[in-house]
Structure 1
Amino acid sequence: MLQTEHLYLFLFILPIVSFLYASVGHGGASGYLALMSLFSFAPETMKPTALLLNLFVSSISFYYYFKEGHFNKNLFLSFAITSIPFAFLGGILDVDASLYKKILAVLLVFSILKMLNVFGVKNDSIKDVKLWQGLALGAIIGFFSGLIGIGGGIILTPIILLLHWGNMKTAAAVSALFIFVNSASGFAGQLTTGITLETNIFILVAVAIIGAILGSYYGSKISNNKQLKYMLAFVLAIACLKLMFT
């Protein structure tokens, strides 16, 4: 995947990314994709790698948030019913490498804004999501999740908070499971296209899991480290510019 000296640096940064994302209930695919872009991974390897990492990290994040009682099953189902088949559809499709980078750059903006707490204003007035709203949004987010190789949490969480369908902890718990099912569906779609994964990809998985366990525990029980999130937002901004203009 990388030359040895670059691989060590990548493996050092990877658990930091998984820690930060898991702390807010995310799998971290957008961060992994940004990191892989900075290290010049081949575009055809980025999507399946990010989805696989997402599966492990988001499941760990969901476990910790669920254990703390933050999960809303009805809110999750309103999005997941349509997101799963559309994520599979998106996973089957392939896009031009240049277009792939541009779409990813735009989606990374959501993650940057989330890390900067633009959507993090506390609101105690919680509203119920209407069925048609959940189904429509689930389909749209699911399709782009499978297409780009993300779980969709960077889009879903801000929407939940902006429309007051849940608080920060609820949004994190729902997004974690949403990311897992979409990543699984998107990854299944990728497998139907005949992709193959290198065996050393599981080294990345093991390293990411370490950060995920620590981040999930920290985020579900305590609070988020704003300084680290600002640092991640800065890294994502650099990657976003690199994707947009290269």
Structure 2
Amino acid sequence: MEQAWIVGIAFLIIAFLYASVGHGGASGYLALMALLNMSPLVMKPTALILNLIVSLVSFLSFYKARHFKSTLLWPLVITSIPAAYLGSIVPVSEPLYKKILAIVLLIAVVRMLIKPPAVENISSPKWYWLSVAGAVIGLLSGMIGMGGGILLSPLLLMMGWATIQQTAAISAIFIFLNSASGMLGQMKKGFDLAPSMYMIIGFVLVGGWLGAYFGSSRFKNTQLKFILAVVLILAVSKLLFVN
């Protein structure tokens, strides 16, 4: 019972940190489940369900704070939603799944440890570049069971297409829609969920709500993000070097 509470609190912290920047937390959940030796067959649908919950809560907070820029969303999701569905039904061997996941988790580590650039001049991207980005991110997200925010956010910021708050709002709804599409593919194939799923959902709801609340008010906590980055690095090492 004590171990279950420790695991639940770990999920809560992950949800809190990711929701504070408009993410659903799939990369964090996947890293934690990798450390717990869960099967990819369990990891993907579990991460998608938790992603759906936290990304929706996060989006509502950032939307309420008026950070949502809808013109960026539609070109992205037109291609990302079908691509995420396709990726979710594509057979991926367990070794390949672990290697792809490790690479994405490394991107997540870099995203956490490097401060986002300050965006002074916001430019309007061409719709077709957004659509290409959406397709690539959606396909990859569907294959490993995430929403793609960890890939979308740095792209929007580095290209100067959105402010930090706008990026959080766009990423949150992008993650929700892609996770929903990926979950449809999982339902078609059939899936198993993590043990104590309902307890984990409770912890994630609390963490996601608190993170979204503080994140939409420009909350920052560098120390906790560093701790989470260490967890991700441990998961990457396990995925790459431990059979």
Give me the TM-score of the superposition, normalised by structure 1.
0.95
Contact kept in structure 2, 1:24 and 1:224, CA below 8 Å: no
Q: Distance in 2 between matches of 1:142 and 1:67?
A: 26
The offset of 1:194, in angstroms, is 2.0
Question: Runs of 5+ in structure 2 lacking a partner?
Answer: none
Q: Distance in 2 between matches of 1:95 and 1:222?
A: 39
Q: Distance in 1 between matches of 2:239 and 2:147?
A: 19
Alignment of 1:2-21 (within 5 A): 4-21=1-18
Aligned position for 2:21: 24
* Aligned partner (choices 203, 208, 225) of residue 221 of structure 2: 225
Aligned position for 2:154: 158
Contact kept in structure 1, 2:42 and 2:192, CA below 8 Å: no
Aligned position for 2:199: 203
Which sits farther off after the overlay, 26-35 or 228-237?
Answer: 228-237
The offset of 1:43, in angstroms, is 1.7
Q: Does 2:101 match 1:104?
A: yes
The offset of 1:235, in angstroms, is 1.1
Q: Distance in 1 between matches of 2:127 and 2:231?
A: 37
Q: Which amino acid aligns with 1:124?
A: E
Q: Distance in 2 between matches of 1:217 and 1:87?
A: 28
Runs of 4 or more consecutive aligned structure 1 residues displaced over 3 Å after TM superposition = 196-200
Counterpart of 2:203 in 1: which secondary structure?
helix
* Aligned partner (choices 39, 51, 59) of residue 36 of structure 2: 39
Q: Does 2:115 match 1:122?
A: no
Q: Distance in 2 between matches of 1:155 and 1:112?
A: 11
Q: Distance in 1 between matches of 2:189 and 2:113?
A: 37
Question: Runs of 5+ in structure 1 lacking a partner?
Answer: none
Q: Does 2:96 match 1:95?
A: no
Give the length in aligned residue pairs.
242
Aligned position for 2:133: 137
Q: Does 2:190 match 1:188?
A: no
Give me the TM-score of the superposition, normalised by structure 2.
0.96
Post-superposition CA distance 1:118-175 (Å, at most 9, x none): 4x02121111111110111100100111110010000000000010000110100000
Q: Which amino acid aligns with 1:96?
A: S
Q: Distance in 2 between matches of 1:168 and 1:184?
A: 24
Q: Distance in 2 between matches of 1:213 and 1:171?
A: 18
Q: Does 2:234 match 1:238?
A: yes
Q: Distance in 2 between matches of 1:199 and 1:21?
A: 22
Post-superposition CA distance 1:36-87 (Å, at most 9, x none): 0111112210000000000000000000000000001010112111000010
Q: Distance in 2 between matches of 1:165 and 1:100?
A: 31
Post-superposition CA distance 1:78-103 (Å, at most 9, x none): 21110000101111122111111110
